[in-house]
Amino acid sequence: MENVISSQTSVRVVDIKGIRKAIPHRYPFLLIDKVEILEEDKRAVGTKMVTINEPFFQGHFPEHPVMPGVLIMEALAQAACVMLLSKGGYENKIAYFMGIEEAKFRNPVFPGTELKLHVEVLRLGRAGKFKGEAKIGDKIAAEGVMTFALVDKEAS
């Protein structure tokens, strides 16, 4: 169920039900819990509550659990896709990752972390581009510029 936090802020919050409607990802690959759309088609902040129960911690690394950087990038991409695909008109679309540029991993993400996924659209169309920063408080955990293609679900 989507709701608006306040009529004054116009922030649209997409909860887990809305996320599951917008993107096809499911356990164990659904990596976001909530997305707050700050400006439609422009900016959003997703939330990932990282817990020790994540399946990737079994092997990365059992004695020193750290969230893999590539999964942090995937979480950023999922937040961007929810921002775009959760509004009306995109029910028959799916987004495919096309590339990652300027990826940097700055701070490790451990179990117990609330990871904030800041995404900003740089270009929107059949092929789009966005910038993402995953943050732990004020510290950047990972960042990068990602491209994606919007395609019809039937064509995929």
Element (H, E) at 26: none
Q: How far apart are CA 110 and CA 127, in angstroms?
A: 33
Which residues are identified as catalytic?
A: 60
CA dist 33 and 50 (Å) reads 10
Composition of the chain by helix, strand, coil, percent to 5:
20, 40, 40
Measure the CA–CA gap between 28 and 106, rounded to whole angstroms. 25
96 Cβ neighbours under 8 A, 6+ residues apart: 148, 149, 151, 156
CB 119 within 8 A of CB 131: yes
The number of helices, as runs of H, and strands, as runs of E, in the chain is 2, 8
